[in-house]
Chains A and B, each alone.
Chain A
Amino acid sequence: MTLIEESARIVSIKGSTVQAKGLSSYRMGEITYVGEERLIGEVIAIVHDTATVQVYEPLEGLRINDPLYPTGKSLSAELGPGLLSNIFDGIQRPLDNIKNISGSGFIERGIQTNALDRQQKWVFEPRKELKKGEIIKEGDVLGKVKETESITSSVLIPPGKSGELVEIMEKGEYTVSDTVAVYKNKSGSKAELTMMHEWPVRIARPYLNKLPVSGPLITGQRIVDMFFPISKGGTAAIPGGFGTGKTVLQHQLSKWSDANVVIYIGCGERGNEMTDVLREFPKLIDPHTNNPLMDRTLLIANVSNMPVAAREASIYMGITMAEYYRDQGYNVLLTADSTSRWAEALREISGQLEEMPVESGYPAYLGARLANFYERAGQVVALGSPYREGSINITAAVSPPGGDFSEPVTANTKRFVKTFWGLDPALANRKHFPSINWQNSYSGYIEEIEEWALETGLMDWGRYRQEMLKILQKDNELEHIVELIGSKALPADEQLIILIADIIKEGFLQQNAFHPIDTFCSIEKQMKMMNLILLFHERANILIKNGCPISLINSLRTVQILKMMKEEIRNEDLTQLNKIEDHIIFDMEELGSKYGYK
């Protein structure tokens, strides 16, 4: 068999793919080295004796008749300690290693390097309950490794493996390729286990069963947490034209959400943005663990001018690593920026295969591939013992051409995600950030989160949310009238709606990602802020009914205070918010003494 394969030769080269003849035993998805430089490629189509290989590196310099070297393996991710706080390219090569090997700041071709460092030693601590002779099953925890200050990794029995434990090593320092356990499989032969294993990225890792989603992913972003929340294990899309703040929002979610592990995929985006993350994250402290943010973060950078085939792979690489941490019982947030670039890579490769395009040149299977990806999110019970629940959230940016949400990638994405944060260029132009439009955005998790809110004692969450959305809806209707006849022609209670909506927009929905206090807002603060704004509305409404002119309410100092509390009051001293409450009551009662107040 090997002999036949060795005679594999390139017969055609086009775009980012080559075609090869002379192999009879090729498998779809097989990793194949291409040319003397051994560029990494993957088989994506087979017609008779011709295989098409997409190559993850630039093809310049390849010739017809250059050899191919099949590996027998599928495109796989290495899973083990050492992934976190690292940055990889789309096929899991650590960018630091690439830099060291090439000795240049540019990414050269043909560099082969392991994802996990084979030299680094980790302290492996075996699970106490495990004894020689015990039956071990796939997904069982073999032991623990402290991967970073924030995350202790479980060493798992890889899916598909089970048998009788013959030997387990004692606590000590091992590399990821050292044997930490030996077991006898069903056929009676011995096999070794290490702290790492490989998993083919295009296949979802198995789990015991899926759980219904419950409880929110708390992001510290007010419009997300209060208006359009996402539950743990949920999916969300962030579509928006350029300049609407997709990337800043993605960064905010990665920084502040209460996930245990964050995987950030820079898929076909800007190089400087990745550098920004690399520069900033190590300096930031995770508000939930007080450890550096980088300790729980893993980056995949396949920037826009890196090879397009690797961009296609990067999404799968990311979700596989997410599943690995999910299986250990962690809540993982995967942010992909942007899935449109991934879809474009798919389109480009499909074009090279001369497949029949459907819409805007995209292949017919675009929807199926997207569904496949989003279905890998969710909350699950992991395989093996002890019992573990883990989850994966996906928040994916979409970059619709011309900001048109009816284009194929946005439209198909909408079919599979339950939360939709539509970014609005009109808001962005007004410097209203995050520019999530409250008219066309939605969350499919309201019921679950309402349940969670009641359990946690946030009794008013649902009511506050509805009241505020009602005010904003009414404000939107009034806006059209105001444009025509001016606000002065409206009755006083409607003018009050406009004022309150203004406070909500400026004081609550707008959130400054670059402000030290405002960048992260705790749930308690969010609830209290809503409470104060609605209290103000309620009291002002009574005054208006009693004939108090709107101009007096407009010019109250509390209006400014309500707008500024987001930046002035720290998450730690919420008692300050009670003082604002006193302010509101005082102001209102003063007016009330003139106009009657009950």
Chain B
Amino acid sequence: MARITVKGVAEIRGPLIIIEGISGIQMGEYLEVRLNEQSTRKGRVLAIEEEKVIILLYQGTYEIEKDEIETEFFGRTMQLFVSEDMIGRTFNSLGEPLDGLPAIYSDEFRDVNGAPINPTSRIYPRNYIETGISSIDLMNTLVRGQKIPIFTGAGLPNNQLIGQIIKQARIAEEIEGEKFAIVFGAMGLTMDDYIYFQRLFKETGTLDKVVMFTNLASDSAAEGLLTPKVALTTAEYLAFDCDYHVLAILSDITNYCQALREVSVALETVPARKGFPGYMYSDLASIYERSGIMEGSKGSVTLIANLTMPNDDITHPVPDLTGYITEGQIILDRSLHNRSIYPPIDVLESLSRLMKDGIGEGSTREDHPSLSNQLYSAYAEGLDKRKLAEVIGRKELNRRDQIFLDFADKFEEIMVNQGDVHRTMEDSLDKGWKLLTLLPKVELTKVSESEMTKYCPEEED
């Protein structure tokens, strides 16, 4: 497709520029504006009205000279060179290396916008990814092909949790030669956090299984709109072309949505809630729905999307719309954090919708479904008793209630509060059984007799 170059722009407005009097421009076309010899900025055609072309510049419009600037249209949508060599590398949101190594050149390139997976080509998610964290693996298992967000609040240790997941995540078949990789897309990442992640990857030697795409907080926010796209394009390539099981982690979706709002306001779109555009649901879906398993390839894309709930409000449009698209959610809880429990995962409020299809015999272990059910209901009962104790005092509880309250305390202390250590699935399951010994046998209605004899350790007195 022929490239078209024009000089000058008609309007500069927020992250948008508007060029008039040109023809032959495509919707969604990729373009570059040349500031000077060294630097160019990349953009995308958002709308075309008669001879007015409305363009989003991903790196902002600051210092753009109205009449002198040259814009080159590429005659195609934005593409990303993809290759297995990307594993172990760090890029910005445009796919340019940030690690000082040469750029990726490959015969393979992909449109970053992707295309929806045909529901008849999908394979229903099964099997699991071990994160090494009991609250997830045992109680809210991450299933391959699933999409699940982490709902966090300002000041909660979500980056530490993400770091730990990146460090620990693995699949059981890695020993049999199945390939596993992590694609990490960070939007609006502060420099401190960037350094934290880089150091973590280097020190723990995890970098060789991670591809990182970064949009720093100091970069243009609009650039962050590209981060999930390039990250998932890479993830799809690795999964569906190279048979990798890919865990894609995106953080922080709230930053992404803020950028989306900024652009939509500049476009004068009618806002829906809190100024966010009405198409935010569709836009988020175009990210989250790129996870899955497809016929004809051995790989899978599993997605963890981290997002900060503004003011811990789960009904805010960003977590709310996300929750409608994703298959469950992991929720971090401030009161657990205040009690120095790490990771502060609220096991009861969290939910993995696909868990029932990904665990049990042939995947994790036969006793997993009933064990997690039993732990869940006992912990829920214990928390009810804790509420009761807040009203009438701990001493007023009867003996049975006391036992459940103690169980809830121990559950948080031992199971949830695991700290920065890796627990294998087996470890987590065994710890679960150990906890159950705190309860009288008659209360264990969700686990079978045979499971109990096989897995439950003898009571220690």
Chain A residues with CB under 8 Å of chain B are: 11-15, 58-65, 87, 95-96, 98-99, 102, 104-109, 241-243, 266, 268, 270-272, 274-276, 278-279, 301, 303-306, 308, 341, 344, 347-348, 350-351, 357, 360-361, 399, 401-404, 429-430, 486, 514
Contacts and interface: CB of A to CB of B under 8 A. Distances in A.
A95 B118 contact: yes
B327 A401 contact: no
Contacts of A350: 270
Contacts of B278: 344, 347-348, 351, 361
Contacts of A241: 320, 323
Interface string B116-143: 1111111111000000000000000000
A59 B77 CA distance: 11
B27 A276 contact: no
B23 A360 contact: no
Contact of A63 (B26, B289, B296, B315): B26
A451 B90 CA distance: 70
B451 interface: no
Contacts, number: 177
Interface residues of B, number: 65
Contacts of B281: 268, 304, 341, 344
Contact of A107 (B115, B295, B349): B115
Contacts of A276: 124
A65 B23 contact: yes
B28 A106 contact: no
Contacts of A95: 118-120
Interface in B168-204: none
A402 B274 CA distance: 12
A187 to B, nearest CB: 45
A463 to B, nearest CB: 34
Interface in B242-290: 269-273, 278-279, 281-282, 285-286, 288-290
A279 B320 contact: no
Interface stretch (B43-51, B155-163, B217-225, B410-418): B43-51
Nearest to B272: A361
Nearest to A350: B270
B113 interface: yes
7 contacts: A14-B49, A60-B77, A96-B120, A106-B116, A106-B117, A274-B119, A399-B324
B345 interface: no
Contact of A60 (B28, B146, B273, B285): B28
Nearest to A94: B120
B292 interface: yes
B interface secondary structure, majority? loop
Contact of B125 (A266, A272, A361): A272
Interface string B280-311: 01100110111010111000000000000000
A105 B316 CA distance: 34
A334 B147 CA distance: 28
A308 B292 contact: no
B116 A305 contact: yes
A429 B349 CA distance: 7
Contact of B315 (A360, A399, A404): A404
B117 A271 contact: yes
B354 interface: yes
B119 A271 contact: yes
A3 B253 CA distance: 50
Q: Which 3 pairs between the two chains have the least Cβ-Cβ distance?
A: A402-B315, A304-B285, A105-B121
Contacts of A65: 23-24
B302 to A, nearest CB: 12
A64 B270 contact: no
A62 B49 CA distance: 12
Contact of B116 (A12, A243, A303, A402): A303
Interface in B310-331: 315-317, 320-321, 323-325, 327-329
A241 B120 CA distance: 27
